[in-house]
Amino acid sequence: MNTAKPVILTQLGFLRRSACRRTRHGGHFGRPSLLLLILIISCSALFAQYDIVVAKDGSGNYTTVQAAVNAAPANSAIRTKIFIRNGSYYEVITVPSNKTNLTFIGESNTGTILTYDNAANKINPATGQPFGTSNSASSFINGAGFYALNLSFANTASPSLGQAVAVRATADKAIFKNCRFLGNQDTYYAHSGRSYHEACYFEGTTDFIFGGAISFFENCDIYSKGGTSITAANTAQHIQFGYVFNNCRITGAGTNITDLGRPWGPYASVTFRATNISGAVKAAGWNDWGNAANQATARFSEYSNSGNGYVPGSRPSWVKILNATQAQPYALLNVLKANSGSPQVTDNWNPLTTINATAGTSAFTTIQAENYSAMLGVKTETCSEGGLNVGYIHNGDWMRYASVDFGTGATGFTARVSSNTTGGTLTFRIDGTAGTQIGSYPVTSTGGWQTWTTVSGSASGVTGIHDLYVLASGSGTGYLFNLNHFVFTKATARVATVGTETPASVAATGRLRVYPTAADGEIIIDAGTDWQSYSRVAIYDNLGRQVVAPLLKGAKQRIHVGSFAPGVYFVRLYNGHTNLTQKFVKQ
């Protein structure tokens, strides 16, 4: 084992809030030969990546999402990031109109679920009357500039209770990326304002995307459980565009079970372009809601679609099949450039500006890959096999992670792998499976599927926030290798290596100091003389799980960390009335 001494790293970010609690936070990793890197972080900087953390287990600032919303500043011109740990949050959530520029970031889009079970025909105990469709939502999004990343929004009400909304959105400039909308009838009520949806999943029965908003859907998956129509738009007459679906995929529970849309209002505007439409959609594709007058006013169109459900010759005559010139105005920035006012006001809103400025995950935090032992870090969001994790890696498999922040750049990566065959090649790309390659490594046989080893490679050509794609390639049709987890190395200035306790080499937060010892795999926690009585120490991993909790014996405590898995850890010192926190990275 290498006995090179750890290094002290400088802290890079500070948080506006002073609450001192645990959160997953990006580490800054050094050379693979180092056992430990000590990164000292002050109590006020612990949440440098997020403004507020929600966790059901109490490891964040709040245990409910609504409490976090209530704590966010009102009428804010700057973005407030709320990180929500995995869990099912059973609560009605309201983002009021004065809570502007809120960002919800889930730990994973299948593990972080915002849900409730009100429904149109369910009795509201406060009024004694049915909730009705509009009041049945699990989440009400009314604050302008709202952004949701890596979340599931759900309504679990019984279908027998009628319409049951998962999300009702009236916010202008709302963004949903890598989110899931789960329900049955009327799942997503895009009521008004403008909204952008990227890489999202929508499911339901009848009219499960409905309302009068100006909404663009990019690279989304739409799943019909069977029902009259997928969409029910109620676009106002003066609004040029309603719902536009681009590069999406439509599937369903059967064949000929639904239509693309029907007009809730006479001027409904819905366009599907470059979308793969399965046989779940009937050949006619559209209906007029039993009112022939709608045929003269509804604005339904399609362009360059594909799939068994795309039968242009069978579409109603009042539905337009666009040519390339006619389809040009339905581009993202043109659709969203003007608000829904009457008359519409053009402000050239570009949702990608917000997305490209908001990270969901630090590239320098350990990231999970396959579901094997010793799992660490952030989970994958989607993969080539359609689920949360690739079951077995074959040639051509890939995993995608949304909005990964590479900061000022990455210089390398480490990955935990195993193989019982000839292996294959692990490749990292950004913004697509054919996007820019930033690193790769040839994985060879380790002598067994559970015989793990850590490999290291170089990375370059990436800064800022990108969707990260992890790809596997190799010869043959069998399994190639296992990939447990990986992390990137950050290019950053470092202080000189230290090996003994001296005032110059010990980094401290208040009266709590953490530093490596001369012994390999060991740290010292120095609490100071006035913390000796009734003080307790606990070390947590970056998912908030307690690893050890020794009693503090005197002002200093030696802790053996050689057996810890690689990753970020938090040291918490508590004496009954005050918390201090430090952070270190186990390499």
Cα dihedral angle (68, 73, 74, 75), rounded to 10 degrees?
-130
pLDDT score at 484: 83
Q: How many CB atoms lie within 10 A of CB 160?
A: 8
pLDDT score at 491: 65
Residue partners of 455: CB distance under 8 A and separation at least 6: 414, 415, 417, 441, 443
pLDDT score at 162: 97
Identify each DSSP E strand in 398-447 by its residue range. 398-405, 410-419, 424-430, 436-443
- Euclidean distance between CA atoms 107 and 45, whole angstroms: 20
The yes-or-no answer to whether 51-194 and 205-358 have a common fold is yes
pLDDT score at 442: 93
Phi/psi zone of residue 83: left (φ > 0), alpha (ψ -120 to 50 degrees), beta? beta
Q: What pLDDT tens digit does each residue of the chain (587 aa) get?
A: 333 322 222 222 222 232 333 332 333 333 333 334 433 333 333 344 688 999 999 888 999 999 999 999 999 999 999 999 999 999 999 999 999 999 999 988 888 999 999 999 999 999 999 999 999 999 999 999 999 999 999 999 999 999 999 999 999 999 999 999 999 999 999 999 999 999 999 999 999 999 999 999 999 999 999 999 999 999 999 999 999 999 999 999 999 999 999 999 999 999 999 999 999 999 999 999 999 999 999 999 999 999 999 999 999 999 999 999 999 999 999 999 999 999 999 999 999 999 888 877 788 878 877 654 433 445 555 666 555 556 678 898 888 888 888 888 888 999 988 898 888 999 999 988 899 999 999 999 999 888 888 898 999 989 888 889 999 999 877 889 888 888 898 764 332 222 333 332 333 444 567 776 655 567 777 766 555 555 667 787 765 667 777 766 666 777 777 767 666 777 777 665 556 777 777 66
Is residue 449 within 8 A of residue 482, CB to CB? The reply is yes
Helix (H) or strand (E) holding 389: none
What residues does each domain of the chain span? 1-49+514-587, 51-194, 205-358, 383-490
Residue partners of 562: CB distance under 8 A and separation at least 6: 1, 35, 520, 521, 522
Is residue 373 within 8 A of residue 451, CB to CB? The reply is no
Is residue 347 within 8 A of residue 341, CB to CB? The reply is no
Is residue 139 within 8 A of residue 190, CB to CB? The reply is no
The domain made up of 383-490 is a member of CATH 3.90.220.20: no
Homologous superfamily of 205-358 in CATH?
Answer: Single-stranded right-handed beta-helix, Pectin lyase-like (2.160.20.10)
Cross-strand partners of 114: 89, 153
Is residue 232 within 8 A of residue 260, CB to CB? The reply is no
Q: Which two tokens stand for residue 288?
A: 């007029």
Please state whether the predicted TM-score (pTM) of the whole model is above 0.95. Answer: no
Please state the φ and ψ torsions of residue 295, each to the nearest 5 degrees: -65, -25
Class of domain 1-49+514-587: mainly beta
| Catalytic residue IDs | 186, 207
Cross-strand partners of 214: 194
Helix (H) or strand (E) holding 335: helix 332-335
Q: Which CATH code for domain 51-194? A: 2.160.20.10
